[in-house]
Homo-oligomer: A and B are copies of this chain.
């Protein structure tokens, strides 16, 4: 039962890494090394042997997931960069459920792993919006970077906030269906908001701009050192 051929199918190190990604996705980032080792069919000691420590395993998973997502994303964009292809993408991510689940758990856990992923998403949003602006489909902004950041952070954040509806135990088989349902629920209000202005006039925006200027540039007599 143990040892077996040097490769069962995958090398043991890879099996541990894959099991860890699944377990982290299902149970959250607090999943125990013992559970991961059991899933991979190895002893906890072997996990330490290959990855040094729990932190080392996390780093290896982070790096692998990042690489996989980047690869899949560029491939998908090359195939069909249209925005409506998004729904098709969502329907097809059965195979990538562990990656998506892991990413959600990483965002939930915070720290450096979450920060890196968010910054990547923001950078993508900046590029998308700049493209749209150049093509004339997106309006220019007073601060394109801030707008892109707000859109990326609110979209990711709303997903993260809703994801714990999947509660402590996350069902990877259900995740693609859940994501598609979530998208259907959210796309109407989001697109509506992005197409027809919420507010009927600019009075709130103007008021904020005035307040901000007053805050950042108070009268000269009250200006401190």
Give chain A's interface residues, CB within 8 Å of chain B.
83-84, 87, 107-108, 110-111, 114-115, 118, 136-139, 141-143, 146-147, 149-151, 153-165, 167-168, 184-205, 207-209, 211-212, 215
Query: What residues of B have a CB within 8 angstroms of the CB of A110 in the complex?
Result: 108, 163-164, 167-168
7 A-B pairs with CB atoms under 8 Å apart are: A111-B167, A114-B161, A114-B164, A139-B200, A146-B188, A154-B157, A194-B204
Query: What residues of B have a CB within 8 angstroms of the CB of A118 in the complex?
Result: 161
Q: Are A191 and B205 in contact (CB under 8 A)?
A: yes
Q: Are A185 and B139 in contact (CB under 8 A)?
A: no
Q: Which residue of B lies closest to A110 (CB)?
A: B164
CA distance A9 to B164 in the complex (A): 39
Query: What is the oligomeric copy number?
Result: 2
Query: What residues of B have a CB within 8 angstroms of the CB of A151 in the complex?
Result: 189, 193
CB distance from A139 to the nearest CB of B (A): 6
CA distance A139 to B138 in the complex (A): 21
Q: Are B189 and A198 in contact (CB under 8 A)?
A: no
Which residue of B114, B158, B197, B209 contacts A150 across the interface (Cβ within 8 Å)? B158
Which one of A84, A191, A203 has the greatest number of beta carbons of chain B within 10 Å? A191
CA distance A138 to B197 in the complex (A): 9
Q: Are A200 and B150 in contact (CB under 8 A)?
A: no
Q: Are A165 and B211 in contact (CB under 8 A)?
A: no
CB distance from A82 to the nearest CB of B (A): 9
CB distance from A162 to the nearest CB of B (A): 6
CB distance from A205 to the nearest CB of B (A): 4
CA distance A11 to B46 in the complex (A): 51
5 nearest CB pairs, A to B? A157-B157, A110-B164, A154-B154, A157-B161, A150-B189
